[in-house]
Amino acid sequence: MEKELEALKKESRPNVIKAIAEARAHGDLSENAEYSAAKEEQAFIEAKIGDLEAKIAKSEVIDNSNMESDRVQFGASVTVVDCEQDDDEENGNDDISVTYTIVGDYESDIQKRMISVSSPMARALIGKVVGDEVEVRIGANIRYYEVIDIKYGKILCN
């Protein structure tokens, strides 16, 4: 969030100010589409800056690294194996486990395998222990996973 805020303040904001100045130079502002678009972009950037500043002010780092729990809770990094793909291991597919970290809604990023605490996967995992099987319903689809590891570390919470 801090990197995004810095980019908005140091790159996006100055660029839109420059675009507004260039559009003003074209004359009549009442019929100037470039000016209107630049002003809309400026309003969007300022709103995003305000939103990020508020979220950062309310955020805190939670250190779960010393947590001694055998149950999945907020902040856990949980390694699961897809029970349906488990059968493929016999056919040479060794890449069947995946590790997700359960984070707040704003911090979620599926590419980094950080899932929102309110996601179907996280809701299914909360409270489970190693060896438990979970049912995850996403729309009409149901998948089954087995919890194979639980770890805790530092996470950002807002």
pTM: 0.61
Dihedral of alpha carbons 114, 115, 116, 117, sign = negative
Q: How many CB atoms lie within 10 A of CB 2?
A: 10
Low-confidence ranges of the chain (pLDDT < 50): 89, 158
Q: What pLDDT shows up at residue 120?
A: 93
Residues forming a β-bridge with 144: 135
Residue 90 has a pLDDT of: 53
CATH 1.10.287.180, the chain: domain bounds: 2-58
What angle is formed at CA 64 by the lines to CA 157 and CA 105, rounded to 5 degrees?
25
Residue 154: strand pairing partners: 63
**Where in the chain are all domains bearing CATH 3.10.50.30?**
63-157
Distances in Å between the Cα of 104 and the Cα atoms of 21, 62, 84, 130 are: 39, 11, 28, 22
Nearest to 51 by CA among 104, 106, 102, 94: 106
DSSP 63-126: E-TT---SB--TTEEEEEEEHHHHGGGGGT----EEEEEEE-TTT-BGGGTEEETTSHHHHHHT
Q: What confidence score (pLDDT) does residue 158 get?
A: 45
For 2-58, CATH gives 1.10.287.180
**Does domain 63-157 sit in CATH 3.10.50.30?**
yes
Q: Which residues pair with 78 in a beta bridge?
A: 100, 150
